[in-house]
Amino acid sequence: MATTTTGQATRFGVVLGVISAGVAMSNLDVFIVNVALPDVGAHYDGASLASLSWILNAYAVIFAASLIPAGGLADRIGPRRAYLAGLVVFTLASVACALAPTVWVLVGARVVQAVGAGLLIPSSLGILLTVAPPERRIPSIRTWSAISGLAAAFGPLAGGLLTELDWRLIFLVNVPIGLVAWIVGLRAIPATPGRTAAARADLLGVGLLTAGIALLSLGVVRSEDWGWSSYEVLGCLGGSVVILVLFVLRSARHPAPVLPLGLLKLPGMSSATLANLVFAVAFAMMLLSAVLWSQDVWHWTPLQTGLAIAPGPSMVPILAMGAGPLTKRWGAGAVSAFGCLVFAAGIGWWLVALGTRPEYVTGLLPGMLLTGVGVGLTVPTLVGAGVAALPPGTFSTGSAVVTMARQIGSVLGVAVLIAVLAGTAGAGRVAAFDRGWWLTLGIGLAAGVVCLTIARPRAAEPAR
């Protein structure tokens, strides 16, 4: 009996490792490209900053837009099949990125890469929720969330290290990881049957949701260039609202909707998703501000910047695991709200301690450690609260909702910080960072208030 239990635990550990590889690659590629853009621009002689920005924007827009449709597909065909397909798409697209002869071919390859990432993220959590024993489900979700946060935060460091050798390595590094994960996953991930469909898939709903989220993301990521009050941005945001309203109306009437609206009524789901979105805004602003401060004000290299930021993310897995007992005792709302408070304290430290003269140990580092503790307490707890009550057959779709909220929040956070810093220099630049940090602190505290509305989950019930 003990041997059987040990064997099951070992196999589950292998499955967790395989899906962690896909999660890490998907989240890493949101941020890893940032520090390589100057080298990419030098390679594609004559590439404008606007065209280079689409290497980042295309991935962010399509990644966010594809999550829920991909989650619905994973629930229909089974998360195992969706995950393995996502690995193939993502890995091949990474090769295409590295070999792209022009900048626009690279942008197109990034679009395909984002589709692969959209398949990987919800299906990976769907696999976890399907195969994990009930007693290991929440700890596994915490591990999954910690890996997501680590990959995102270590992106600048990984990008700096690889770009020192060759910018193509930021894409080629995915190839051996994806290949090994696919081979091992083919053998290790157990069959996960899809949901029996009572009606044909809502393809129009897929189109509406994808277009709505894509327009929303596009308006946000291009706001710096177009201007928040421009016809282009207002058209994107207004069109997004109209399309998403049509999507909700269709979902309420369709027998097999892309997003069962009943999922949003499950205990903790709506509050955790909203808190995830708001906190993601603050997290993205914090991370980007640390990178830009180090490079623009202290004039550090990308590699120095990545190394300086690394201690913060290193706190995430430690706190993610340690928060489990706290959540059992105090509830997800209280623990995640406390995490937001610690995160805000880290931003407050920067407001008090940072100056134009580089002071790492007494300036940047304490804030990085505090924000790392806050992220480790908050993000895994919110993901766990959001998916805890999901009924079988909706694991991938439900997790995609939570993940999409975080991705949209990240896109919005980057756009807000860039808007605050735009057009500043010298002393005005430093003052703009202060304004950005006050805003980040306030958004972090606002996320904590939303966290306090999270109710303890009851038993899972079918989503209608």
In a domain, 86, yes or no: yes
Please report which confidence band the pLDDT of residue 269 belongs to, taking 50, 70 and 90 as the band edges.
confident
Q: Final residue of a domain: which of 216, 238, 255?
A: 255
Asked whether residue 462 is assigned to any structural domain, the reply reads: no
Same domain (yes/no): 363, 408 = yes
Q: Are residues 249 and 263 in the same domain?
A: no
Task: Please say which residue of 255, 290, 321 terminates a domain.
Answer: 255
Tell me: pLDDT of 401 over 80: yes
Q: Please state the rounded mean pLDDT for residues 355-368.
A: 94
Residue 111 has pLDDT above 50, yes or no: yes
- What are the contacts of 324-327 at 24+ separation with CB within 8 A? 324/138, 324/139, 324/142, 326/377, 327/138, 327/381, 327/384
Q: What are phi and psi of 135, to 5 degrees?
A: -70, -15
Do 23 and 118 share a domain, yes or no?
yes
338 compared with 26, residue with greater pLDDT: 338
- Shared domain for 126 and 221, answered yes or no, is no
- Mean pLDDT across the stretch 362-383? 94
Smallest Cα–Cα separation from 350: which of 438, 272, 227? Answer: 438
What does residue 354 show for φ and ψ, rounded to 5 degrees?
Answer: -80, 140
Is the domain of 212 the same as that of 343? no
Does residue 349 sit in the same domain as residue 441?
yes
Residues 95 and 232 placed together within one structural domain of the fold: no
Tell me: the pLDDT tens digits for 299-348?
988 788 888 888 888 888 888 877 888 888 899 999 999 999 999 999 99
Total number of domains constituting the chain? 2
pLDDT in tens, 212-225: 888 887 888 777 77
Q: Which of 228-237, 265-274, 352-361, 391-400 has the lowest mean pLDDT?
A: 391-400
Residue identified by tokens 């997501």 is 148
What pLDDT was estimated at residue 194?
66
CATH code for the domain of 83: 1.20.1250.20
Q: What is the DSSP string of 294-345?
A: IIIIS---HHHHHHHHTHHHHHHHHHHHHHHHHHHHH-HHHHHHHHHHHHHH
Of 112 and 149, more confident: 112
**In this structure, are 188 and 210 located in the same domain?**
no
Listed in sequence order, the residues at least 6 apart from 4 whose beta carbon sits closer than 8 Å to its beta carbon are none
Contacts of 104 (CB under 8 A, 6+ apart): 51
Label residue 457 by pLDDT band (50, 70, 90).
Answer: low
Average pLDDT, the chain: 85
More confident residue, 31 or 448: 448
* Residue scoring higher pLDDT (155 or 291): 291
Work out the pLDDT band at 152, boundaries 50, 70, 90: low
Q: Is residue 464 part of a domain?
A: no
CA 415 – CA 174 distance, rounded (Å): 27
Domain that holds residue 239: 202-255
Q: Tell me, what amino acid is at 141? A: I
- Is the same domain home to 156 and 224? no
Q: 217 and 147, same structural domain?
A: no
The answer to whether position 374 is within a domain reads: yes
Q: What is the pLDDT of residue 320?
A: 80
pLDDT band at 462 (very low <50, low <70, confident <90, very high): very low
DSSP letters, 187-207, are HHSPP---PPPSS---HHHHH
CA–CA separation, 138 and 452 (whole Å): 19
Q: What is the pLDDT of residue 108?
A: 95
| pLDDT at position 374 over 90 | yes
The residue among 123, 28, 457 whose CA lies nearest residue 272 is 457
Most confident of 10-24, 66-80, 218-232, 233-247: 233-247
Whether 79 maps to a domain, the answer reads yes
| 10: CB partners within 8 A, 6+ apart | none
The answer on pLDDT for 7 being more than 60 is no
- 463 domain residue, yes or no: no
Does residue 201 register a pLDDT over 70? no
What is the band of 199 on the pLDDT scale with cuts at 50, 70, 90?
A: low
In this structure, are 21 and 139 located in the same domain?
yes
Statement: residue 461 has pLDDT above 70: no
Please report the pLDDT score of residue 1 as a whole number: 46
Q: Is residue 169 part of a domain?
A: yes
Contact 340, 445 (CB under 8 A): yes
Q: How far apart are the first and last CA of the chain?
A: 40
Which of 211, 228, 255 is the C-terminal boundary of a domain? 255
What average pLDDT does this structure show over 422-444?
90
376 within a domain of the structure (yes/no): yes
Decide: residue 140, CB within 10 A, 0-12 exposed, 13-18 middle, 19+ buried: buried
Distance CA 446, CA 185 (A): 40
The C-alpha angle with vertex 322 and arms to 317 and 325, in degrees rounded to 5, equals: 145
Least confident of 8-17, 101-110, 285-294: 8-17
pLDDT tens sequence across 46-85: 677 667 778 887 888 888 888 888 888 888 888 999 999 9
Report the distance separating Cα 342 and Cα 122, nearest Å: 29
pLDDT over 70 (residue 6) = no
Residues 217-240 have a mean pLDDT of 86
* Co-location of 56 and 141 in the same domain: yes
For residues 2 and 250, the model is more confident at 250
**Rounded distance, CA 428 to CA 420, Å?**
11
